[in-house]
Amino acid sequence: MTRLIAALALMLTAIAANAEEVTTYMLDNGMEVVVIEDNRAPVVVHMLWYKVGSADEPEGASGVAHFLEHLMFKGTDILEPGEFSEVVAANGGSDNAFTSYDYTAYFQRVAADRLELMMQMESNRMNNLVIDPAEVEPERQVVIEERNQRTENNPNALAGEQFRAAQFQNHRYGIPIIGWRHEIDDLSIADLQNFYDLYYSPNNTVLVVAGDVDPDEVLELARTYYGVIPAEPQLPERLRPEEPPQRAERRLTYVDPRVSQPYLIRSYLAPERDAGAQEEAAALVYLAELLGGSSFTSDLGQALQFDTQMAVYTNASYGGSSLDDTTFSFVVVPTDGVALSEAEAAMDQVIANFMNAEIDPARMDSLRTQLRASEVYALDDTAGLARRYGAALTQGLTVADVQAWPDILQAVTVDDIKSVAEKVLNREQAVTGWVVANQEEAR
Amino acid sequence: MPRILTAIFLAFIASIARAEIDIKEVTSDGGINAWVVEEPSIPFVALEIRFRGGANLDLPGKRGATNLMMGLLEEGSGEMSAQEFQTAREALAASYRFRAFDDTLSISAQFLTENKDDALALLRQALVEPTFAQTALDRVRAQVLSGIASDEKDPDTIARAVFDAAAFGDHPYGTAIDGTVESVNALTREDMIAAHRNALVRERLYVSVVGDVTVDQVGPMLDALLGDLPAEGAPLQPDVGFGLGGGVTVVDYDTPQSVALFGHSGMKRDDEDFFAAFIINHVLGAGGFESRLMMEVRQKRGLTYGIGTALVPKFHAEMMIGQVASSNETIADAIAVTRDEWRRMAEEGMSAEELASAKTYLTGEYPLRFDGNSEIARIMVGMQMIDLPPSYVVDRNDFIDAVTLDDINRVAAELLQPDALHFVVVGKPQGLESTN
């Protein structure tokens, strides 16, 4: 059986040579351009990524990055409020945007021959946004309703917000992307304008164009529309407050009658993928899979969902894409009648057993195969590839890092995994959160 | 100044691309029909399978059986336990997804060209030889019960349950496919066998295959995969009318933002006016930022983060529904504006300009959907289920373009009934009370 899988892995190595076709350029004003060719359908995805997110916000102005993202769909010197999206729709396309801790990105998906129009409008709103108080106030209510919908109405999201705030003692990853409610209420026109003026500049962007395009033509268009925008000389170096050594585990209980059943989350501070040094992150990808990837074959799934049936759900996850330190997390939802303390003890026993046991080589082979195959499946989703490059390049990685990642994943050994587990699964750097409907469930 | 860009760029729209996919129809020796698109550029295959009938086929008193049965297909089959099955699947890096909906069972698979035979053999085992072991049944039952518990505290799902029960009563559409705590707890292994026997049958099968595979390979492949399923299944459900009249139902729930689900009866997919209704729905509430409801409720008034509407032509009933969430203090305003917009469209229809831009969007957006093997496979199987021919991919934009303003205004007056709208509101809404 093992030998058969090894043969399979070799075949898959050949497949991976068939990777996405990527061309990169740097404009004179500091804008990076990434072109991903996929000629299967006459479609293009045009994405502009700003290297600024909620974790770059000034203190006391949480939510400004996200609020500004909303306002980017309002007017500019030549576009009426709403006209940007109207033109995209009139051309049969769709558009939207998203804000994260490390980036803010705007994208349109249109017929490939409409790319120039998208660049014309997107480049226009990089420097010419009109922040009109008459537009800001209704939009503030929209943002508050968004926060209501995503967070205030959702006990799991509220719990997550509390746990994250405890996980990060100094870094702004501890503050929600959408912002604290009281700070959204108080964001001023000046907060928005200053953030826009400083960060919305070509030398703070990555342009990703993916689909049925010719890279040279994309470069030419990018020069025409984006290349003429001057760089922002005041753009600060991207240095954020780092985490101090974390010396004490934090334990929280979030009580909310809207919680349907008790569960627990354990998160640990963990290293992220760094440029030229992605090996630890790669080992953490395997660690998450081995401990809690599949309900059927991971250690937590086997022990808690099959052997003892103490849990209805278990999971381990690792978010390696991050500019600064990230987290490695576990979730356990106990079976009816199993106390959280019992479930937590059982989870910790699984982790302890993992540290003391050999890692099954067959599972390593299977994971390597799945990771290889995921690269093949990823080629079917051009927009997904565009997001992969955009996120990486705004989170401190290079195109070379993105392309090296699959091979780095393949090279991970059981020793790498054990040593990173030893380092990361340290309770002093951890938050353990219980989520319950009432105090009686917190046992 | 402002509208210049729009004017310029509306001008060069003329030739929107048509979907350029080459659909081949195949009938296997065993009589299984499939639509195939050969796409050899990436070494994998996307396979979509549907069975009409779905969770509607639950037998009386066995609500949740079909859903639980589908959850068990990946939990042991042939000689393999759940864990052995998943270990084999993971080693092949294949993905299978088994899901139940009210009218349909859905199976989605992706596998590498190299592993095609093994991946299909394993999938066949799951579909044809599930074991429904008691231990697996109990474990997955606990997961379903956990989901039901969660639904009971989720405002969106509460709204849906109340709305469906009031609209469809005793018809299966009136209850959630997950079943109730009571019905799920009572399900047995025999119920799983019956649900499988009743629903996974060849007479109600639809298949599409896209990727690194040739048309010649597909027939034998499908006979091997599905040929051993029984030919005929349990009778389908009868049609049911939309039984909910106009009004408001408030469900008290302590949460800061109220959720409203609203709707009335709709239109059949094969109605000759369906495209007019489709465009009306788009302009009223389905067209994202450009829709009238988004403009009036979100952009102008800041009453919500999102509002949307949908035409829902099910197999046995039709409705037009929408959803909006707004703070408890403002939900009444959001509902009032929604009702007004409903009335305005019903009474005044839309302008020629609105119709033109809706057509431009809808015809421009359509070919962009066909941008991946998995996506194309999903679209094709959906077309087959509603009896559309492969040529629809080419002709569909002509159907949109053929709709006239007169059609729109006539159909809007028939379809949209502001007084028949019923709003189910979950939260602590201010200034709203249940009617009746």
Q: Record the tokens describing residue B42, joined without a space.
A: 């990436």
By DSSP bridging, strand B44-52 and strand B104-112 are: antiparallel
CA geometry: angle at B196 spanning B191 and B202, to 5°?
155
Closest-CA residue to B341 (of B271, B262, B273): B262
Judged on CB neighbours under 10 Å (0-12, 13-18, 19+), B306 is: middle
By DSSP bridging, strand B24-27 and strand B247-252 are: unpaired
Residues of chain A found within 8 Å of residue B371, distances taken between Cβ atoms: 40-41, 43, 211, 382
Minimum-distance CB partner of B372 among A85, A372, A381? A381
Q: How far apart are the CA of A271 and the nearest CA of chain B, in angstroms? A: 27
CB contact (8 A) between residue B368 and residue A109: yes
Give average pLDDT by consecutive 10-residue segment, chain B, 436 residues.
39 47 95 96 97 97 98 98 97 97 98 97 98 97 96 97 97 98 98 98 97 97 98 95 97 98 98 98 93 96 96 97 98 98 98 94 92 94 97 95 98 98 98 91
CA A417 to chain centroid: 23
Cα-based distances in Å from A322 to A28, A53, A200, A278: 27, 11, 20, 12
Closest-CA residue to B428 (of B233, B254, B221): B254
Closest-CA residue to A270 (of A255, A280, A260, A259): A280
CA dihedral over A300, A303, A304, A306, signed as positive or negative? positive
Look at the block and give the residue holding tokens 């067959």. A362
CB contact (8 A) between residue A145 and residue B325: yes
Residues of chain A found within 8 Å of residue B428, distances taken between Cβ atoms: none
DSSP readout, B215-282?
HHHHHHHHHHHHTTS-S--SPPPPP------SEEEEEE---SEEEEEEEEE---TTSTTHHHHHHHHI
Residues A192, A137 contacting (CB under 8 angstroms): no
Closest-CA residue to B193 (of B103, B133, B105, B122): B133
Q: Does A366 touch chain B (CB under 8 A)?
A: yes
Number of H helices, E strands in chain B: 16, 13
By DSSP bridging, strand A104-111 and strand A43-50 are: antiparallel
Q: Does A276 touch chain B (CB under 8 A)?
A: no
CB contact (8 A) between residue B364 and residue A333: no
Residues of chain A found within 8 Å of residue B362, distances taken between Cβ atoms: 92
Closest residue of chain B to A96, computed from CA coordinates: B289
Best of B146, B185, B291, B379 to substitute, by most chain A Cβ atoms within 10 angstroms, is B146
Residues of chain B found within 8 Å of residue A137, distances taken between Cβ atoms: 302
Tally of CA atoms within 13 A in the half-sphere of B152 that contains its CB: 14
Closest residue of chain A to B144, computed from CA coordinates: A312
3-class DSSP assignment, residue B427: strand
Residues B265, B424 contacting (CB under 8 angstroms): no
Residue B434 is which amino acid? Answer: S
The length of chain A in residues reads 443
Closest-CA residue to B266 (of B323, B192, B318): B318
Phi, psi of A323 (to 5 degrees): -75, -40
Residue A7 is which amino acid? Answer: A
Query: What does DSSP assign to residue A77?
Result: S
CA dihedral over A199, A202, A203, A204, signed as positive or negative? positive
Residues B378, B48 contacting (CB under 8 angstroms): yes
Residues A312, B143 contacting (CB under 8 angstroms): yes
State the Cα–Cα distance between residues A205 and A138, nearest whole angstrom: 29
Q: How far apart are the CA of B30 and the nearest CA of chain A, in angstroms? A: 31
Closest-CA residue to A343 (of A299, A308, A292, A296): A308
CB contact (8 A) between residue B114 and residue A12: yes
- End-to-end Cα, chain A, rounded Å: 45
| pLDDT single digits (tens) A295-344 | 999 999 999 999 999 999 999 999 999 999 999 999 999 999 999 999 99
By DSSP bridging, strand B205-211 and strand B33-38 are: parallel
Look at the block and give the residue holding tokens 């039952």. B141
State the Cα–Cα distance between residues A164 and A151, nearest whole angstrom: 14
- pLDDT above 60: residue A4: no
Q: How far apart are the CA of A236 and the nearest CA of chain B, in angstroms? A: 33
Minimum-distance CB partner of A370 among B90, B299, B366? B90
Q: Which of A32, A69, A183, A344 is catalytic?
A: A69
Q: Does B41 touch chain A (CB under 8 A)?
A: yes
Q: Cα Rg for chain B, rounded, in angstroms?
A: 24
State the Cα–Cα distance between residues B192 and B144, nearest whole angstrom: 14
State the Cα–Cα distance between residues A162 and A174, nearest whole angstrom: 9
| pLDDT single digits (tens) A337-370 | 999 999 999 999 999 999 999 999 999 999 999 9
Closest residue of chain B to A304, computed from CA coordinates: B139
Residue B46 is which amino acid? Answer: A
State the Cα–Cα distance between residues B353 and B360, nearest whole angstrom: 11
Cα-based distances in Å from A3 to A320, A362, B91, B408: 31, 9, 12, 65
Residues A178, A105 contacting (CB under 8 angstroms): no
pLDDT of residue A316: 98
Look at the block and give the residue holding tokens 């049936």. A309
Q: Record the tokens describing residue B375, joined without a space.
A: 């996506």
Q: Record the tokens describing residue B242, joined without a space.
A: 């939309």
Q: Does B371 touch chain A (CB under 8 A)?
A: yes
State the Cα–Cα distance between residues B397 and B173, nearest whole angstrom: 32
CA geometry: angle at A169 spanning A168 and A174, to 5°?
40
State the Cα–Cα distance between residues A88 and B333, nearest whole angstrom: 30
Residues B339, B331 contacting (CB under 8 angstroms): no
Closest-CA residue to A105 (of A392, A387, A395, A401): A387
State the Cα–Cα distance between residues A303 and A311, nearest whole angstrom: 9
- Residues 71-90, chain A, touching B (beta carbon < 8 A): 73, 75, 78-83, 85-87, 89-90
Closest-CA residue to A133 (of A85, A196, A190): A190
CB contact (8 A) between residue A145 and residue B43: no
| pLDDT single digits (tens) A210-232 | 999 999 999 999 999 999 999 99
Q: Does A137 touch chain B (CB under 8 A)?
A: yes
Helix axes of A133-147 and A64-71: crossing angle, nearest 10 degrees: 120
In the residue annotation, A69 being an active-site residue is answered as yes
ipTM of the complex: 0.92
Residues of chain A found within 8 Å of residue B255, distances taken between Cβ atoms: 152-153, 258
Q: Does A308 touch chain B (CB under 8 A)?
A: no
User: CB A57: neighbour CB atoms within 10 A?
Assistant: 25
Residues B307, B324 contacting (CB under 8 angstroms): yes
Look at the block and give the residue holding tokens 């629903």. B199
Phi, psi of A232 (to 5 degrees): -90, 110
| pLDDT single digits (tens) A86-96 | 999 989 999 99
State the Cα–Cα distance between residues B310 and B282, nearest whole angstrom: 8
Which residues, in sequence order, are CB contacts of B302 under 8 Å at separation 6+?
A137, A138, A139, A140, A141, A142, A145
- Cite the DSSP H helix spans in A32-106: 64-71, 83-90
State the Cα–Cα distance between residues A72 and A70, nearest whole angstrom: 5
Phi, psi of A111 (to 5 degrees): -60, 145
3-class DSSP assignment, residue B332: helix
State the Cα–Cα distance between residues B225 and B149, nearest whole angstrom: 36
- Percent of chain A past pLDDT 90, that is, above it, reads 93
Judged on CB neighbours under 10 Å (0-12, 13-18, 19+), B35 is: buried
Residues A138, B302 contacting (CB under 8 angstroms): yes
CB contact (8 A) between residue A93 and residue B257: no
Long-range Cβ contact pairs of A137-140 (< 8 A, separation 24 or more): A137/B302, A138/B299, A138/B300, A138/B301, A138/B302, A139/A67, A139/A70, A139/A71, A139/A74, A139/B302, A140/A67, A140/A184, A140/A185, A140/A187, A140/B302
Look at the block and give the residue holding tokens 């076709």. A21
Judged on CB neighbours under 10 Å (0-12, 13-18, 19+), B68 is: buried
pLDDT of residue A41: 87
Q: How far apart are the CA of A324 and the nearest CA of chain B, in angstroms? A: 30
Q: Record the tokens describing residue A418, joined without a space.
A: 């054990």
Q: How far apart are the CA of A290 and the nearest CA of chain B, in angstroms? A: 13
